[in-house]
Amino acid sequence: MGKLDDIEGIRQLKYRYFRCLDSKDWEGLADCLAQDCSAAYDSGKYSYQGRDAIMEFLSGSLGSSEIVSLHHGHHPEIELTGSDSARGTWYLEDYLVFVESDARLRGAAFYHDEYRRVDGSWKISRTGYVRTFEESNDGSGWKLNSYGDQLK
């Protein structure tokens, strides 16, 4: 397998991560993660060690049919760091609808990931994001939180 094949395999992995997250395919999402994966979502506000802990958090937070989500990963920068390791940065755009309360949340962030080849397949071994901004609307108008100072 060549360098471009590895990069494409990692891109497909991250695309699958987002698709499984939004379609609530928890088994498919778990398959994207290495067993010992670590996660630090929202600048480390939500940090977990191990695939089971990460999956418990994600399915518990987004598993309800009352929550509809959209996660797009754009502009991947993927660097192979070894024959079976890599790291990547992705620009995240997300939008969540809380159906029952008609509340909305949208924002953007930078995902910083590490990847490892496990039994011939690329897996996410570390993941997390740092927000650039987040807007929320509970029905009374949009409220903006900017996190640009965290990016430096």
Phi, psi of 124 (to 5 degrees): -80, 125
**Under DSSP, is residue 13 helix (H, G, I), strand (E, B) or coil?**
helix
Is there a contact between 95 and 106 (Cβ–Cβ < 8 Å)?
A: yes
Go through the domains of the chain in sequence order and give each one's CATH number.
3-151 (3.10.450.50)
Residues in the chain: 152
| Stretches in the chain below the pLDDT threshold 50 | none
pLDDT at 148: 66
Model pTM? Answer: 0.93
pLDDT at 139: 85
Six-digit token pair at 58?
A: 């994600």
pLDDT at 107: 96
Is there a contact between 124 and 39 (Cβ–Cβ < 8 Å)?
A: no
pLDDT at 145: 86
CA separation for the pair 136, 151 (Å, rounded): 21
How many other CB atoms are found less than 10 A from the CB of residue 149? 6
Residue 20: name the closest of 33, 10, 9, 8 by CA: 33
